Structure formats: structure tokens, C-alpha cells
Amino acid sequence: MSGAASAAALATGRKHIYGVRPPRAWMLILPVDALAIVAVVPLHLNHARALLTMAVVSVALFAGAGLYRPRLHLSLLDDVPALVARLLIAVFFVAAVTVFRHDFDSVDSLLTAVAFAVPLVVAGRLVTYLFIRAARRARWRTGHRAVIVGSGPVTAGLVQALTRERSYGLDVVGRLDEPGNIYLSGVKWLGDVTDLAGVLTRHQADVVIVADARTSEDRFAEILEASIGRTYDVLVVPRMRRFPTRSARQDHIGAIPIQRVRLPVLEGWRWRLKRSVDILVSAFALAVLSPVLLCCALAVRLEGGPGVLFRQIRVGRNGRTFEVLKFRSMRPRDDNDSQTTWSIAQDDRVGPVGKVLRRTSLDELPQLWNILRGDMTIVGPRPERPHFVEQFSAVHPHYARRHRVPVGLTGLAQVSGLRGDTPISDRARFDNYYIENWSLWLDVKIVVRTLNEIFSAGGR
């Protein structure tokens, strides 16, 4: 299969060898947790509403603590402290609401009902863990086919552990590594790491375990991102595995620690929600800030004459160009000058009004129209001119990767002090960090920090 065909197959998703992807453990664990609390309702009908509320709060707290994240090693003893602690928080919340409603007489009986619910949750977890481990051993619609990247002692240890303990639910179909690496008996060599996409498709594997490959991290990371869609699980053995780390995502195969890598998802409902927020906020801001926009336009007109808006070609998502709008803070010498000259903070062509607009970032307000049109988003990497994109991409290998998402009115690099004459490599690093760790909450934090920059006049 050609590389293009493999990529197309991965992009459209794939079915597991059994016909569909195996069910995830949380699909069983979550409803059992909720039912364990609700099970005491028939015995305490007067607290039905309180117990249902406790079930919802408990499940939310469990999810926040990572107790529904996918794990290979399932141990009730590992989870009991986190389970009990979150249950007690949920109990405190429900009891506080009961007291707030001045229903003091019901608190004692409510705590009695909870006393039955807590051990039921723990017992439910024990039963579900035993069931999942047994189902994995029997490969009852729970098996995953895995490809290991590596050929050294770590790979050998992983293969031995997965062969010995079938409750991890992984079947190793083979290994990938550079030609000429150590030969492992009983583990089929499937090819070079560059053929990762083709191997996963041909062998219907949906798990990649990165062990001790000789390929450099940067090279393999590029192959991984180019080859794997979001329907695959990526497990990585830490290089410094002799030094334990404390993490909610901590997991292991045998005595070998592993970390689950979350590849950035740049599509789906969260990104559609982000676009919906862009439309609502930009439309609302344009309406509310119209007096401010009018005052800025009038000030620019009085200082510099006609031509209030400055238009410039910038590069957006996937390299698409668009015309960005700004209030004019200075006049370029000519059209080529605006596209190829790097502006500096102390440019003598910037007048008093321009300096105020730049320092308060008010010159960026017309970009709300770019956001409404879909050229930009509220939070994202700042757009740059084609001339400099080409120049920076040639010098900084990861610069072009920032165009994986829509460009933004503000971004992580800008609120981290990387504005004006600051290293391009640092900006690209912050932009790519934002993309790879994106969440709606991260956007909220960046917006709050941006407002602080504006009100403290921390602009250029």
C-alpha cells in the first residue's frame, strides 16, 4: 500500500480486527459507579434527590481525578484512596446543601444512607476490575493488537510481560525499528519505522508502544504525527524510567512504566464549539465596542489623514493567505515595505496616536471582523506575512507547524511576553505548545491574561 493510501485509510478511521473497536473500560466502570450509589435509593426514598445528586457529583469528581482514563494495569488498591476521598467530598457537598436548606433532621439519616453507598462503590469497582481483567485474558471483544517500536532490552521486557500476563489485553503482532538492530526471537520484524502507517493498516493494529528504538525522538515524532489518527493509542516508555514520577496517568506493563501520549486533536466538536464562540464573541464585541472603534478611527484620521484601516496579507491555517485588518499606526514607505520590513517598537514613523494604539493593542480591534468572517480565531498563533513565513520556516524547522490551527487575535506567545523584537524560535515553541496542549480552558486563561495586558498597558 502506498504512503498516500495508508494516510487516507488512517484519516478515515479503521475497524478493529473483530469488526469494531473494542469497548473501553470506562464504559462499564462509570455506570457501575453511579448505580452503586443509586442502589440505596429504594431503602431511603426520602433522600432520593440527594443520593442522585451525590451520584452525579461523585462521577464528575472521579472523572476529574482521572479514574476513568484508559489504563492497562487495573488495581483496586491503587484507586481506593482516590475513590474514598472524592466520595467524601461529594458527601460533604450534599450534606452542606441539606443543611443550607435548614433540613437539619435529615442529615443523620442521609449519612446513614451514604454509609451503605460508599462500600457499594468500592465493591462495584472490585467486581468490574475482576470482570475486565477476565475479559481481557479471554480476549472477549477486549483485545487490542499492538506494534512495538524498538528491538532492545526494553522491548524484550515488554514482550515477556505481555505474553505472561494476558490481562493487559494486548497482542503483540511485531516490532518496528531501524534495520540491523538486535534480533528478538519470537517477535516478528515488520519493517522500518517509516512504514508505521502501512504496518498498522496491514496488521489491523490500533496500539503503538514506543520502547527503545534507535530512531531519534524528533524524527519518530514527525513520523508518528504524520501516520497516526486519533483512533490509535500511543504508549511510551519514559527514557528516565529509573526515576519514578507521580502522575494521575501513571501506568505500567510488568515493572516497566509507560505513559499514554495524547496526540493533538485539531477537529471535532470542541473545535466546532471554539468556532461558535468566535462568532458569538466577535459579533457581540463589534457591537459593544463600536464607540471605541469609532473613536480610534477618528483619532487615526486626524493624525494621519485618509486611510484609517491598514490591510496586509497574512498566512493562516494550512498556509492559506488572507487580508488582515488593523488600525493604521504608521504609514509604510510603499506596499513592498509593509510586506517585507520587520516593524520595530521605536519606529520614528509611529505618531502619538499610533503609539497609544499599539501600547494598548487597540490597533488590533478591526481583526474582530476577521474572526467573524472565519479568517482568524480569538486565541491562536499570531498571523505572519508570507515573506517572513518563508524566511522563518527555512531557519526554524518547527515554525510552519504553527499553521496547523487557525491564527488568532491573541496567543500564548504574546501573553508570555514574546512580542515585538523577540526570538522567532521562542514564539514558535510557545505556539506549538499551545496547539499540542489545546483546550477550551487554555483559551480562557489566555484571554484573561490578554485582558490583563491591555488594562496594564503592557502592549508594544
Q: What is the pLDDT of residues 316-368, one digit of tens each?
A: 998 899 999 988 877 655 555 555 554 555 556 677 877 788 777 788 889 99
| pLDDT attached to residue 78 | 87
Cell representation of residue 15:
475497524
With 80 as the cut, is the pLDDT of residue 243 above it? no
Under DSSP, the state recorded for 315 is E
pLDDT of residue 286: 93
Tens-digit pLDDT profile for residues 196-216: 888 888 888 888 898 887 777
Burial of 42 (0-12, 13-18, 19+ CB in 10 A): exposed
> Alpha carbon of 164 to those of 58, 77, 254, 370: distances in Å?
36, 22, 9, 58
> Are the CB atoms for 87 and 118 separated by under 8 Å?
yes
Q: Taking 50 as the threshold, does the pLDDT of residue 16 lie above it?
A: no
Show the cell assigned to 307. Answer: 486611510
Mean model confidence pLDDT for the chain: 81
CATH number of the CATH domain containing 172: 3.40.50.720
Q: How far is residue 333 from each of residues 56, 150, 159, measured CA to CA in Å? A: 63, 57, 66
Quick one: cell of 119?
Answer: 462500600
pLDDT of residue 414: 87
> Residue 443 has what pLDDT?
93
Closest CA relative to residue 16, chosen from 141, 182, 152: 141
CA angle 165, 227, 177 (to 5 degrees): 55
pLDDT at 126: 94
User: How many other C-beta atoms lie within 10 A of the C-beta of residue 22?
Assistant: 18
Q: Tell me, what's the pLDDT at 14?
A: 40
How many H-runs (helices) and E-runs (strands) does the chain carry?
17, 11
Residues 366 and 305 in one domain: yes
Please, which residues have CB within 8 angstroms of residue 220's CB and are 6 or more apart in sequence? 149, 193, 210, 213
- Per-residue pLDDT of 271-297, as tens digits, reads 899 999 999 999 999 999 999 999 988
Q: What are phi and psi of 383, to 5 degrees?
A: -75, 150
- Grid coordinates 510552519 are at which residue? 400
DSSP state of 44: -
Does residue 460 fall inside a structural domain? no
Looking at mean pLDDT, say which of 166-170, 174-178, 343-347, 452-456 comes out highest: 166-170
* Alpha-carbon span 26 to 28, nearest angstrom: 5
As to burial, measured by CB atoms within 10 angstroms (0-12 exposed, 13-18 middle, 19+ buried), residue 354 is buried
Radius of gyration of the chain measured on its C-alpha atoms: 28
Residue 5, pLDDT > 70, answer: no
Residue 407 lies in a domain: yes
The last residue of a domain, from among 78, 105, 138? 138
Domain boundary, last residue among 241, 261, 281? 261
Residue 111 — very low, low, confident or very high, per pLDDT cuts 50/70/90? confident
What is the SS3 assignment for 327?
A: strand
Cβ partners under 8 Å of residue 159, min gap 6: 148, 172, 184, 186, 187
In this structure, are 428 and 292 located in the same domain? yes
Would you say residue 9 has pLDDT above 50? Answer: no
Per-residue confidence (pLDDT) for residue 242, from 0 to 100 = 64
Task: Locate 388 and state its grid cell.
Answer: 517572513
Based on the fold, state whether residues 338 and 445 are members of the same structural domain: yes
Q: What is the pLDDT of residue 218?
A: 74
Helix (H, G, I), strand (E, B) or coil at 72: coil
What's the rounded mean pLDDT across residues 43-51? Answer: 81
H, E, C per residue of 148-207: EECCCHHHHHHHHHHHHCHHHCEEEEEEECCCCCCCCCCCCEEECHHHHHHHHHHCCCCE
**Do 231 and 282 lie in a common domain?**
no
Residue 53 sits in the same domain as residue 154:
no
Q: Which residues pair with 256 in a beta bridge?
A: 253
CA-to-CA distance for 48 and 37, rounded, in angstroms?
10
295 and 413, same structural domain? yes
Cβ atoms of 86 and 54 closer than 8 Å = no
436 and 333 in one domain? yes
Evaluate whether residue 93 is within a structural domain: yes
For the chain, how many structural domains are there in total? 3
Same domain for 381 and 240, yes or no, is no
Which is more confidently placed, 15 or 162? 162
pLDDT of residue 245: 62
Asked if 280 and 425 sit in the same domain, the reply is yes
Instruction: Identify whether residues 284 and 374 lie together within a single domain.
Output: yes
Q: Do 111 and 207 lie in a common domain?
A: no
* Listed residue (453, 348, 355, 346) closest to 409, CA to CA: 453
User: 444 and 299, same structural domain?
Assistant: yes
Grid coordinates standing for 112? 446513614
Domain-terminating residue out of 138, 171, 199: 138
How much of the chain, in percent, has pLDDT values that exceed 90?
23
Model confidence, pTM: 0.70
Q: What mean pLDDT comes out for the span 17-45?
A: 77
> Which domain does 370 fall in, by range?
269-455
